[in-house]
């Protein structure tokens, strides 16, 4: 219930701006009974709000700095979202352990495998952590392609645009049986290509 409240609260910021329009495509591809490692490209801080429009259960994996923001960070802790300190091996190991535990408790995960936002919208290299988790836990991967959010709040700026069309496209889930034979690096690149083919900015 707290997670659903958080999604509603996050989505509210998008709904109150008349010029911001978010289209979610293929919502039916999410099976609420399934446990996924959800992976999405990352263009802007707005991505977090946009993905809230999925209104399905998952645990965010987020940089630890977000947990230090008053009210927002408290909410993240209460939701048992999973922090990571980039470049810290102990933090990464703890994150992996918490992710494994979350999946064992039938919680899906939401991860940005690029690690940080793309300035241009073109996809960066995908890190392997999310794919290692999917392989180790034998759960499906749910790729998600986001387009248009870079135009709302580009990286390294606080200037919002008043009008923007944004799109969240849910791709076909990838069952464990389809990638169990792949190495982490190859799986990461395969999923990156699937998402990249549907990201508008990646085609520019």
pLDDT at 23 over 60: yes
More confident residue, 20 or 178: 178
Lowest mean pLDDT among 96-100, 143-147, 199-203: 199-203
Q: Domain 2-203 belongs to what topology?
A: Glycerol-3-phosphate (1)-acyltransferase (3.40.1130)
Task: Tell me what the mean pLDDT of segment 80-88 comes to.
Answer: 89
Greater pLDDT, 176 or 119: 176
Domain layout of the chain by residue ranges:
2-203
Please check the confidence at residue 190 and state whether its pLDDT lies above 60.
yes
Residue 160 pLDDT: 65
**pLDDT at site 117:** 83
What mean pLDDT is reported for the chain? 89
157 Cβ partners below 8 Å, 6+ apart? none
List all residues 6 or more positions away from 158 whose beta carbon is below 8 Å from its beta carbon: none
Model pTM above 0.85: yes
Per-residue model confidence as pLDDT tens digits over 5-21: 888 877 887 777 777 88
User: Using 50, 70 and 90 to split pLDDT, how confident is the model at 153?
Assistant: low
User: How many CB atoms lie under 10 A from the CB of residue 200?
Assistant: 15
Q: Is 93 exposed, middle or buried (0-12, 13-18, 19+ CB in 10 A)?
A: exposed
């Amino acid at each position: 219930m707290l997670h659903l409240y958080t999604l509603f609260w996050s989505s509210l910021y998008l709904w109150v701006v008349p010029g911001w329009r978010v289209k979610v495509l293929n919502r039916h591809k999410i099976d609420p009974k399934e446990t996924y490692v959800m992976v999405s490209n990352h263009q802007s801080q707005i991505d977090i709000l946009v993905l809230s429009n999925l209104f399905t259960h998952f645990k965010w994996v987020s940089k630890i700095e977000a947990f230090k923001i008053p009210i927002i960070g408290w909410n993240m802790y209460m939701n048992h979202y999973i922090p990571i300190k980039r470049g810290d091996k102990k933090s990464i190991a703890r994150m992996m352990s918490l992710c494994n535990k979350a999946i064992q408790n039938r919680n899906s995960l939401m991860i940005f495998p690029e690690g940080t936002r793309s300035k241009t919208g073109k996809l960066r290299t995908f890190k392997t952590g999310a794919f290692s988790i999917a392989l180790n836990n034998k759960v499906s991967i749910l790729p998600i392609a986001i387009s248009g959010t870079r135009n709302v709040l580009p990286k390294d700026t606080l200037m919002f645009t008043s009008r923007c069309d944004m799109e969240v496209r849910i791709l076909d889930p990838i069952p464990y049986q389809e990638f169990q034979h792949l190495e982490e690096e190859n799986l990461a690149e395969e999923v990156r290509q699937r998402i990249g083919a549907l990201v508008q900015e990646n085609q520019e």
